[in-house]
Each structure stands twice: as C-alpha cells, then as structure tokens.
Structure 1
Amino acid sequence: MYSQKRNVTPTKAVEILEKHGTKVSLEEAKLILDFMYKFGKLAIDTELKALEIRFKQNAK
C-alpha cells in the first residue's frame, strides 16, 4: 500500500495525534493513514465523476 508517495508518515501521525490527546501505536497510525488515503481517493473520484456527469448534462 505504500507504493504512492505520502506526505504524512506513521511516526508523524502518532506525534500529531498525541498533541491532541490521542494515543495510538505506530501500527494503528499506519491503519489510520491507509484509511484516510483510501477515503480521500474515494471522495475525489466521486466528486470527479459527479463533475463529469454535470458537464455532460450541460453540454447537451
């Protein structure tokens, strides 16, 4: 899953979460980041698909 470049490392995620009072292990941080990247990709893909549909409807 780490073939793509990621800006936030699991170590950095642990540090950020600790600053906000949430303690997670390095393994948990990896899972959280995997979920966030997958969810982000899904959200972008969904919005692009909606834009494509709107564009096609407006072109008629």
Structure 2
Amino acid sequence: MIVVLTAEQIEELATFAKEDGQPRYTITHGTIPEFEADDGTMVPEYKGLIAYSESTQHGVLQLDE
C-alpha cells in the first residue's frame, strides 16, 4: 500500500507530533467507529488516513483527505 500525504497533511501531522510528544507515528488507512465522547457528544464514524503512536495514553490524528 502506498500512502500519499499532501503538504497540509504533513503540516497537520507535524503539529500533532509536537503537541502529542511521541517519538514516532504509524500512518494507515482505517475506520474509527462512531463513539460517545467524554462530554456526551457523539463523534461520527471516520474512514480515511489515521496517524497514531504506540502509546495508549496519546491521541489519534484523522488526516482528512
């Protein structure tokens, strides 16, 4: 599988990495199912590029195409 990132997605990932503080990220194509956030709002399903670290304590970035 080949993953192509736009300049905007690269900038978005760089900002996320600086704020999240993890040493490396995996980029994949996948689905995040709809879920209820801590504040009770519903977060819709997302299908597309996802960046994540190995830490379960840190975030996941949806790289909108």
Q: Which has the larger radius of gyration?
A: 1
- Larger RCO, structures 1/2 (Cα 8 Å, 6+ apart): 2
Structure holding more strand per residue: 2
Structure holding more helix per residue: 1
Report the TM-score, using the length of structure 2 for normalisation.
Answer: 0.27
